[in-house]
Structure 1
Amino acid sequence: MAEPLSPHATATLDSLLAGPDPVSSALRAQIPHARVTDRCGCGCVTVDLTVDRAAVPPAPAHGNPAADAWYSVPDDAGVMVFTKDGYLSLLEIYSASSEPITTWPEPRFLKR
């Protein structure tokens, strides 16, 4: 069953999609209509997303990932947001270490 985005995942998306370009603006508008539909099996905080397509239009054509960045803390982690058909579909965190990241790092540590 779909569940709301956590406040930390929401803040991560807001920060990752900051910017005035049309794709980022359209994807940010989808955040309030996004729900978590699945989680990564490794124990990290990566989430599959679905968006209420009746509530908000798709983003203009763009590549995948739609946005990505590294963290300065932890310095071995990064995050990417993917879309499908112009809608948010995956918020993925990854790390160079062998341990999964089990909490969202503070968005203020994102660097592009």
Structure 2
Amino acid sequence: MTLLPADVAHVLDVLLPEGHPLRAQLPHLRVESRCRCGCSTALFAGVEDGARSDVVAEAAIGSDGEVFLFAEDGRLSWLEVCSWTDPKLTLADAARFLGGESSDTD
């Protein structure tokens, strides 16, 4: 059982379908902090500064934005939501759009 917030868990479930090799990290993943701008981008615990960062998964949120999952040296590092609209989209918005039912952002 994961201790991730519901919005993060729903989005990760879509971005990392069953059988994806990075999915094995989910039971050990913890949110260290959230972006202060209100978008709710989640940074995961245990990521080293200066490590190489790559987009490992992404999904459109209609025509309003996108979510990106990053990994640093093969370790999941952060989940970012980008908005093309105002007000800003959140990870809870992304979870709802991608088929989740979450409104939880804690």
TM-score, normalised via structure 2 length: 0.72
* Aligned residue in 2 for 1:15: 14
Q: Which runs of 5+ in 1 are unaligned?
A: 52-62
**By how many angstroms is 1:103 displaced?**
4.9
**What are the within-5 Å matches in structure 2 for residues 86-97 of structure 1?**
86-97=74-85
Higher relative contact order (CA 8 A, sep 6+): 2
Give the % identical residues: 36
Residues 30-66 of structure 1 show CA distances to partners (whole Å, capped at 9, x for unaligned) of 1111001111120111110126xxxxxxxxxxx8210
**By how many angstroms is 1:101 displaced?**
2.1
Structure 1 runs, 4 residues or longer, greater than 6 Å off? none
Matched, 1:108 2:96: no
TM-score, normalised via structure 1 length: 0.69
Q: Which runs of 5+ in 2 are unaligned?
A: 47-52, 101-106
**By how many angstroms is 1:71 displaced?**
1.6
**By how many angstroms is 1:98 displaced?**
3.4
Count residues in correspondence: 90
* Aligned residue in 2 for 1:57: none
